Structure 1
């Protein structure tokens, strides 16, 4: 195999191309998060129901990724990722002019299916194309694109919806997504290690083969632990960001939509932590780095409990640092743990990741309605404690694998 080496023009193009792709994907996915209070007011729905505009998208994305990984073997990763970006951007333009909340949910679900083409393939593309010695850094840069996209999309919609309306905000992001989708196609290197698989086999046989691959990954206890960690940590992250806006736009804070949108600038902390902690993991090991990330998330959630606005912002920043550090380590760990079919392993990781987003986002609304902000934080802390339990199990498995490998054993 010919790998892309760090420091080469191909590495810079691959990193920047996937950064753009991640930016568009996560801008589109999360741009409506600061708009949830506006949807509650405009469509006259509760916070939990309003959160479905995000939950249905992440759920559809999670399911769609199971099929997109297999389609990449037929059409090629670059072609499918480009289609994903352009189709999802066009659907954002459509969502800007829906007339009722049910129609918005339908379009957002279609967006989730379209968006599945990039995250389901991007990590597998990096795992197959980039030199393993630089994979942690490359994965960190890709995750950094996630954070920048998630941050800027929220800021843009918050500002434009205050100045004009939420419809104009979505329309602007849709048009921008189309332009950047074209740039992505132009700059991303074609996969050199890509091997098409049985393009002429019957659909039923291909489906059975894909199910067999997924079942094999689900029998790996270590991968199951990583999938569970993704579910729990993402569920907590989405719950925190979904409902902080409801609290800060109400008394005693009474922040504007623009001000709430600008709170997401703390995502720059995640941009730094994902790349930096990826390098730390390359040097000092994944187990310790993942523990640090998850513990930092719990600390950040606790810091948001006091009423002062400064504590809210500080807690968001600390939580975000820990979340993206944990996500970059866990996602890279999946590629290392899977012996083969890395794209399918990444898809399963992201299936659990985005199902966690859907479940945590909706359940957070129930906790918010019943117990206010303390209820949301209690749910998040419960998720992080469960994730730590899975990390303990994963650490024991990793030590067993390392000991067997040092003895020349088979694992």
Structure 2
């Protein structure tokens, strides 16, 4: 009872500090990660990279991030949550600045791969921190605000890199985003309250394997990990190749204009918090499936020719994605009764695995079938995800009911 009272709740100064810190962390992580995405056509021009090879600037990062997440959460179980997250942000921002002066494509990709490793110290650990420190009544809103910061960072990173690459040079764009990452790291370090409910664990490889196996034995967790892979795989695929479509006839958009389209990420900032709060009140299983239907509708709209309809489709797709991710990620935190960092790590392993594998595979569909091929792949993934959401809704809840409902 005492521990429950001590948990951070909505409306308190600690809640505001936590959300300021994690909004800054989400902003930095996603700005640093995704600033290269609108630059794929530029990499094709400057380095001679094909669309599939250009996508490695993101897919290598997310691939190394996915694997490293399995270990970052476990390290945080030993040394603590905040030290890992602070180090992750500072080192990742530094690597982004260094990548801006990389002399060759191979060196640039190597730095981006290293950044995938260093970024791993934030996402899974942040989810575990929220699961430990935030009251169950407030965790949906807190997770939504964190994901909102991620959405804002993803939007700002993409928009700034596109605009600055047109106005000055893509290297300047990446250096500026690295500098913003450093400022965000400072804000996070100074604002985040210390962990009050973290208990250090002396983890052996055998204990680590047992905790991973325990999560994988839960059918709901397996479904949530699969949803994570499918959600992020479809989302990144659509965004990866939208730029190639829009720089070509009949649109001929500049990098600045393509970057401006990513302003629809502001919708994700809203939808993650709003949908997360709605799911907290109505039940996750009653809301989650609807976000997948919204994503499919948005993807279908992008098949139209008028540019305003394409942008509207991307906006609808983005609304659905961030709402669905907000629900699924908070669901994992509530479903896990122990080793929350490992549960978060598995969720994010699948999440960034989908980004890396499906994001690059989408280039093959784009090369072979143009934009309809990309949309066909995305809709197929989301239909599988919808089947998984229906299966989730039919599983029994854990006690107390809000762990699955």
Which bracket does the TM-score occupy, shorter chain normalised?
Answer: over 0.9
Per the alignment, do residues 100 and 286 of structure 1 end up closer, same or farther by CA in structure 2, a change over 3 Å counting? same
Equivalent-residue separation in structure 2 for 1:260 and 1:165 (angstroms):
15
Equivalent-residue separation in structure 2 for 1:376 and 1:401 (angstroms):
36
Equivalent-residue separation in structure 2 for 1:251 and 1:135 (angstroms):
46
Residue 401 of structure 1 is matched in structure 2 by: 397
Equivalent-residue separation in structure 2 for 1:175 and 1:136 (angstroms):
31
> 1:354-392 CA deviation, whole Å, 9 max, x = no partner?
000011110110000000000000000000001011112
Residue 242 of structure 1 is matched in structure 2 by: 240
Residue 255 of structure 2 is matched in structure 1 by: 257
Equivalent-residue separation in structure 2 for 1:171 and 1:288 (angstroms):
43
> 1:97-136 CA deviation, whole Å, 9 max, x = no partner?
1122111111101001100001010011001001111111
Residue 233 of structure 1 is matched in structure 2 by: 231
Residue 358 of structure 1 is matched in structure 2 by: 356
Structure 1 counterpart of 2:135, from 124, 131, 138: 131
Structure 1 counterpart of 2:91, from 87, 93, 98: 87
- What is the root-mean-square deviation of aligned Cα atoms in Å? 1.2
Equivalent-residue separation in structure 2 for 1:53 and 1:401 (angstroms):
41
Structure 2 counterpart of 1:105, from 109, 124, 127: 109
Once the two structures are TM-superposed, the CA of residue 405 in structure 1 deviates from its matched residue by 7.5
Equivalent-residue separation in structure 1 for 2:171 and 2:164 (angstroms):
9
After the TM superposition, which residues 322-341 of structure 1 pair with which residues of structure 2 at under 5 Å, given as runs? 322-341=320-339
1:293 aligns with 2:291: yes
Give every structure 1 segment of 4 or more consecutive aligned residues whose post-TM-superposition deviation is greater than 6 Å: none
> 1:191-214 CA deviation, whole Å, 9 max, x = no partner?
11111112xxxxxx6222212211
1:71 aligns with 2:75: yes
Residue 201 of structure 1 is matched in structure 2 by: none
Aligned to 2:33, the other structure's residue is in SS state helix
Gaps of at least 5 residues in structure 2 are none
After the TM superposition, which residues 109-188 of structure 1 pair with which residues of structure 2 at under 5 Å, given as runs? 109-188=113-192
Equivalent-residue separation in structure 2 for 1:285 and 1:76 (angstroms):
31
Once the two structures are TM-superposed, the CA of residue 220 in structure 1 deviates from its matched residue by 1.1
Whether contact under 8 Å (2:77, 2:341) holds in the other structure is no
1:20 aligns with 2:18: no
Query: Could you tell me the TM-score, scaled by structure 1's length?
Result: 0.95
Equivalent-residue separation in structure 2 for 1:175 and 1:282 (angstroms):
36
